[in-house]
Amino acid sequence: MRTTARLKHAIALLISAAAVLLPARSALAVPAFARQTGLECAECHIVGFSVLTPFGRKFKLNAYTEGERDLPLTVGGVASATKSRSATPVDGAPFTDDNRVVVQRVSAYLAGKITDNAGGFVNWNYDGVERRGAMEMVDVRYADTFSFAGKPLVLGVTLNNNPTVSDVFNSTPAFGYPQVSPAAATVVPTAMTQVDMALSSQVAGLGVYGWWGDMLYGELGAYRTADGIFSVLRAGVPRGQGMGNAAAIKSGAPYYRLALEQRWGQRGQQHSLEVGVFGLNVDRYPDPTNPNGPTDRYRDYAADAQYQYLSDEHRVTSGLTWIKEKRDWRASFDPMVMQNGMPSNPDGTLTTSRAHVSYMFRKRYGGTVGYFSTKGSSDATLYTTGAGMGDPVTNSANGSPDNAGTQWEVFYIPQQNIRLALRYTNYSKFNGAASNYDGSGRNAKDNNTTYLYAWFLY
């Protein structure tokens, strides 16, 4: 009864916070891009603040230069409450903020037109749970439009700090579903591929791209460790402490992207379908503080697809993502040393699959259903946490990184700069098993979470 009462209290606090911020504002008094273009946020975004419409994709590819220069500053934040199905206090388990309202993040954005051909999007966040600030997303670009074979050709250059941040589809990792996740009171699988946000806020990348005939998109880029003059792109994030504990990388990690989009219908009922491929090759030093000597090699291959439908009443967007990573532990593997957290095999694979469908009615009400799965080579020590037989909650007793589950979300956008949502994440498998996955009696479903959040941008 006490748990239920606390969760109800958390919901009441979030709704009250939203009510304070709900007085009517004009469309031009919210985020910087809306002020610059004179358009409502819904012209560029479908189900919130991240998923782009065809117009939004065009705006980004043209270097954020549509409209007239205006105040390029936007501020925002996320307040949230998370309830884990089982949050028994255990050393090392992140349950200290379970069933409490937290200020998950406070954000500042510099976003907008610089010149007629250049613009940018820079996002800095203060993490209210970890109590530190960090640069999250940077995408500064230059673009110009030409004609090729009788159709428009946009050519551009992008400087950014994470593979796929430069992308314009919501089926690639940086802007794929979910766009916001709990920062407190949850335990999540740790195995992830390099292209799937493992290098976030750790690297600096330069890419060239082209968009021909409003249908064919291609990008080639290279990424290096964000140190020296590039360290500003990871401001607040020490090397080796980003998502996935990403280490320093050797030389330039090549990134490629190719996508084909087809649109049909009229403005009142518009469809679009995209299919594409992308990939990343990374040579990573096992010790981020010592970028010398041999490296571990990662080769990521990915495919994606996105479908969207837009009308005055109904909006639908969906995405599919498949990523396979081949791993060569030529630097970390040592058959004479079998230490927890280090590979006990010379190589391995990891495959991630995700799918989601979102629906929105009258640009205000909607919901999302999502599926996720990771499968990989078993390893006796790589996915074992702690000393001895492994820590409770975070350990994989059978040495498998496999996980799978579904996500269910409902959301409400009372006005274009506020999103209120409730999400439930259900695990059918966690760290390799459905039951007793950690060797200490914890089941996958014990990590199920209810996540209530309020997302504001001004």
Identity of the highest mean pLDDT range in 51-55, 114-118, 185-189, 454-458: 114-118
Helix (H, G, I), strand (E, B) or coil at 437: coil
Q: Residue 339: its pLDDT value, please?
A: 78
Residue matched to tokens 């009258």: 362
**CATH hierarchy code of domain 2-457:** 2.40.160
pLDDT (tens digit per residue) in 119-161? 999 999 998 888 888 888 999 999 999 999 999 999 999 999 9
Q: Residue 237: its pLDDT value, please?
A: 63
- As a whole number of angstroms, the distance between CA 431 and CA 371 comes to 16
Residue matched to tokens 């009400």: 365
Output the average pLDDT for the chain: 86
Q: Residue 328: its pLDDT value, please?
A: 96
Q: Is the pTM of this model over 0.85?
A: yes
- As a whole number of angstroms, the distance between CA 40 and CA 57 comes to 15
- As a whole number of angstroms, the distance between CA 138 and CA 300 comes to 22
26, two tokens: 């004009």
Q: Residue 62: its pLDDT value, please?
A: 95
Which strand (E) or helix (H) includes residue 12?
helix 2-20
What is the rounded average pLDDT of the residues 97-115? 90
More confident residue, 350 or 339: 350
What are the φ and ψ backbone dihedral angles of 196, each rounded to 5 degrees? Answer: -95, 60
Q: Residue 389: its pLDDT value, please?
A: 72
How would you label 319-328 residue by residue, b for 16+ Cβ within 10 Å and e otherwise? bbbbbbbebb
pLDDT (tens digit per residue) in 217-270? 999 999 999 888 888 888 776 554 443 444 589 888 999 999 999 999 987 899
Residue matched to tokens 């979102």: 358
pLDDT (tens digit per residue) in 12-30? 444 343 333 333 333 323 3
Q: Residue 185: its pLDDT value, please?
A: 65
Residue 341: count other Cβ atoms within 10 Å of its Cβ: 12
pLDDT above 60 (res 9):
no
Instruction: With beta carbons less than 8 A apart as the criterion, state whether 271 and 290 touch.
Output: no
Residue 143: count other Cβ atoms within 10 Å of its Cβ: 21
- As a whole number of angstroms, the distance between CA 323 and CA 326 comes to 10
What is the rounded average pLDDT of the residues 333-351? 87
Q: Residue 424: its pLDDT value, please?
A: 97
Report which DSSP code applies to 20: H
Q: Residue 32: its pLDDT value, please?
A: 78
Q: Residue 223: its pLDDT value, please?
A: 95
Residue 362 burial (CB < 10 Å; 0-12/13-18/19+)? exposed
Q: Residue 246: its pLDDT value, please?
A: 45
Instruction: With beta carbons less than 8 A apart as the criterion, state whether 376 and 399 touch.
Output: no
The full set of domain ranges for the chain reads: 2-457
Q: Residue 24: its pLDDT value, please?
A: 32
Q: How confident is the model at residue 77 (pLDDT cuts 50, 70, 90)?
A: very high
- As a whole number of angstroms, the distance between CA 44 and CA 59 comes to 8
In Å, the largest CA–CA distance within the chain is 69
Q: Sign (positive/negative) of CA torsion 397, 439, 129, 81?
A: positive
Helix, strand, coil percentages (3-state) for the chain, rounded to 5, are 15, 45, 40
Can you name the residues that pair with 199 across neighbouring β-strands?
Answer: none
pLDDT above 60 (res 399):
yes
Helix (H, G, I), strand (E, B) or coil at 265: strand
pLDDT above 90 (res 171):
yes
- As a whole number of angstroms, the distance between CA 228 and CA 237 comes to 14
pLDDT above 70 (res 89):
no
- Among 150-154, 159-163, 168-172, 341-345, which is the least confidently predicted range? 341-345
Omega of the bond leading into 178 within 30 degrees of 0 (cis) = yes
209, two tokens: 């791209």
pLDDT (tens digit per residue) in 285-335? 988 888 889 999 999 999 999 999 999 899 999 999 999 999 999 999 888
Q: Residue 357: its pLDDT value, please?
A: 97
- As a whole number of angstroms, the distance between CA 109 and CA 138 comes to 10
What is the DSSP secondary-structure string of 42-82?
GGTBSSSSSPBPHHHHHHHHTTT-SS-----EEEEEEEEEE
Q: Residue 173: its pLDDT value, please?
A: 94
259, two tokens: 């996508």
Can you name the residues that pair with 76 across neighbouring β-strands?
Answer: 107, 457
